[in-house]
Amino acid sequence: MRERDKMSGFATRAIHEGQEPDPSTGAVIPPLYLSSTYAQERVGEMRAGYDYARAGHPTRTAFESVLTALEGGEATYSFASGLAAEDALLRAVLRPGDHIVIPSDAYGGTYRLLSRIYGEWGIELTAANSSNPDEVASAIRPGQTKLVWVETPSNPLLGIADIAAIAAISKDAGALLVVDNTFATPALQRPLEFGADAVVHSTTKYIGGHSDVIGGAVVIGRGVELTDGRNGGTGTPSVADAVKFQQFAAGAGQGPLDLYLTHRGIKTLDVRMARHSENAAVVADALVEWLGADRVLYPGLAGHPGHEIAARQMSSFGGMVSFLAGSPERARRIVESTKVFTLAESLGGVESLIEYPYAMTHASVVGSQLEVPHDLVRVSVGIETVADLVADLEQAIAK
């Protein structure tokens, strides 16, 4: 065993897992494999297990291995987007007539996928306040609920779900717990350690970290099986096998160049998340000073209703901050007046972004019980000089 293999530090694994020097040349960074197909010695006799890139390729293997190590799971499967990853997991686990519990402040794209696509497939859903485990428990339909889905912190209201408590509730009900860990990343929170069965990521965000790639991933916990004696596409009850089959059979896997960029980004995840969190804490404090504590949503604030739970399951509080501007008109003026913060959808890049969720990322939930406040502003705090970020928000709010 190489000395490196004994290392367990998060940053060390992020940098070295799946990054063995190329055996033929000694290159420190493994090559990017752009080949769509791989030569076979004889029929069915593959070199290193690869035959066709939809089924797998070395660049995918390298990225999936590092995210598995960082989340502490059994296996990871990468996809062309975060929603493609969610779709693969949902198709792997659910059947027509099943029921799923989702957060009452879920990401709009997740709600759109479930309500408008899976709804026509016969899947029923109930939205519940994931910050209140009792509400989640009340929303579960014994025997019908197969998945409980939470985001923590949630998008865009920064709600905090008690992962351990909801994991226990889900297990008692015979349902699997899925945690969207996009906002926290494994650098700050590892849901599988608190009893979650699977983790989903939009790797477009903090995992990639540079706003230059689209991707998603599903990480499955060790030994997780489908409920009610079901088998997946490969004939086994393993959820990991079921998701892997979806990745192969439906063909929504991520391409090698995107995986290469995402893997490059994950190497700096630890230091980036530390800086994102530090800057966001300063921005949140400034917003409290200008607007009042009751209008700023950030789990790092002592007055946040989920602060104690977040402090228990997160090592820091992340780079996302939301606030209530006071009116829709004022919210729009603020997001259109910043100079350092860029008005744009998405989040998690090194640059700071600002948006108006009601008409942008969460327009798909307008008119539903998941509709977000009309005066809500969401900011993705980047890693720029924090004084510049504070000054920019101050001048925008003053307008």
Active site residues: 54, 107, 180, 205
Q: Are strands 75-79 and 216-220 parallel, antiparallel or unpaired?
A: antiparallel
> Which helix (H) or strand (E) segment is 176 a member of?
strand 176-180
> Which helix (H) or strand (E) segment is 275 a member of?
helix 269-291
**If phi over 0 gives left and psi between -120 and 50 gives alpha, with beta otherwise, what is residue 75?**
beta
Q: What is the C-alpha separation between 396 and 8, in angstroms, rounded?
A: 44
Which residue, among 216, 245, 243, 254, has the nearest Cα to 90 in the 3D structure? 243
171 exposure class (CB count in 10 Å sphere: 0-12, 13-18, 19+): middle
Question: 370 near 106, Cβ under 8 Å?
Answer: yes
- In the numeric block, the tokens 């959820």 are attached to 239
Secondary structure class of 106 (helix, strand, coil): coil
C-alpha separations of 252 from 215, 243, 268, 306 in Å:
10, 11, 26, 36
DSSP string, 210-231: SS----EEEEEPTT-B-STT--
Q: What is the C-alpha separation between 55 and 33, in angstroms, rounded?
A: 14
Helix, strand, coil in percent for the chain, rounding step 5: 40, 15, 45
